[in-house]
Structure 1
Amino acid sequence: MKNIEINEVYTLFEEIKGLIKKGSDNTPTVIQPEIELPDLSVISELTDKLQETIEEVRKPAKTECHHTFSITSNKVFFGVIGMGIALLVCMFAIHYQREKIATYKDNDLKYRYVKIQGAITPDNIGHLENIFENKRDSVKVIRKQVEKHEKAIIEEAKRLEKARLKEQEAEQLKQEAESLKQQK
């Protein structure tokens, strides 16, 4: 039975094969027309132009600003006048402050000079005021005297402080020596 079945299958395949051949002979052959490709050079030219345009758009635009200041303009005229007035006010204020500071410095120097002298009489005060008002060169001499005296006082204070510290150290050493003697 196996032989029969194989033979039947074989005949069926032969029939199918024949039908396929017959069908392929009957099918009309389709002829496809050739597709014409457009001219690509035009497209490449347009692409190049588009790229150039994009590059130009991306470049920063150069802007130029011109400012003109003319004195005939009301804003400029009043601005210059206002700045001039402000400058004059500042100059007068600075001058006034400098005079005030110079007076303070002179008074400080007078005080330090009087302190050096110890006691001062009304005649000496008048003489000192006369020096500060009329003889500015003498003020430099007084300033040097005061600074020299103050340096001498500072050096004397340092020397006395060192002597005091040495005395304290000597006293401390004496106490330590006595405590060591008592322990023995």
Structure 2
Amino acid sequence: MLTLQFTPEQIKNLGQIAAYSVNKVNENFSKAFAELKSAIKPIDEKINQLKSQQSVVIRNEHVFTIDFRNSRAALTMISMALVILLSLGCHKWQFDRNWQLKDNDLKYRYIKSINGISSENLNKLERIFKYPRDKKKIEEIREKVEGYENKFKD
């Protein structure tokens, strides 16, 4: 069996070499750790920004614009507005006409219920239905006509 023995000087040199190697490895680890830390820092900042943005409310604003440079759109909008105005005017005219027909029907039924009317009484009857309308007298006429019609209905 062969045993190797180191001299104290060789052991001292080996210790110095080992210490130097450990020191170099430690320096390399420190540099790698610093580089890794500097690489992780921006990523960590981005993550923190993303976390803080969760509480931010995002508002979507919708803006509608009318562009009259496009003649089709302008003509369509103008024609639709005219149709709506014309329709409103026709509805008002029809409403007034129906109101007038109801009044004329009541006047006719009243004249029929009293077996005719003189021209003087006809003028009085017309004034009741003209502006300003006498609502009380119109209601009285309506009640008389309905009473007359109910009397002869049976």
Q: The TM-score by the shorter chain falls in which range?
A: 0.3 to 0.5
TM-score (ref. length: structure 1)? 0.42
What's the TM-score once normalised by structure 2's chain length? 0.48
Q: Looking at both structures, which has the greater relative contact order when contacts are Cα pairs under 8 Å and sequence separation is at least 6?
A: 2
